[in-house]
Amino acid sequence: MNPFSLKSTVVPLLSLFLSGGTLICCALPALFVSLGMGAVLAGLVSNFPQLIWISAHKPLVFGVAGGILIIAGVMQWNARNLPCPADPAQARVCTRLRRISAGIYMFSVLVFLTGAFFAFGAKYLFIS
């Protein structure tokens, strides 16, 4: 297997997975409560008590997710000018994989920023 394709798919998917954890900890509970679905949130917490740990340790969760996002961004930046294979079919696959990887990374950053807003910023915005 080509090591470039492994790096260009595993790290962005890992960053997406970890930034998704930030949504689970902070944005989804805020969404459920704001939509009046507190019972759904209570049911989730009773079925998945790990959500309590994630919410209690959100600086650690965001720190790890942010670190992985930084690593993934550096890898994306360094790989942007790497040559693709000379074979036209492999070159198309290489170019497509780079676009997909960049899209996954941008989506991961968006998910991370959404979670960060609900975890750390929304409480200051909605002070009455």
Locate 27 and state its tokens.
């944005």
Model confidence band, residue 1 (pLDDT cutoffs 50, 70, 90):
very low
Digit-coded pLDDT (tens) for 67-116: 888 888 888 888 788 888 888 888 898 888 888 888 888 888 888 888 88
Reduced to 3 states (helix: H, G, I; strand: E, B; else coil), residue 86 is: coil
Digit-coded pLDDT (tens) for 3-24: 455 565 676 677 777 777 777 7
Domain that holds residue 35: 3-125
pTM: 0.72
Q: Mean pLDDT over residues 46-50, rounded?
A: 82
Model confidence band, residue 59 (pLDDT cutoffs 50, 70, 90):
confident
- Distance, CA of 24 to CA of 30 (rounded, Å): 10
The domain tally of the chain equals: 1
- Distance, CA of 79 to CA of 8 (rounded, Å): 8
What pLDDT score does 2 carry?
A: 52
User: Quick one: residue 36, left, alpha or beta (phi over 0 = left, psi -120 to 50 = alpha)?
Assistant: left
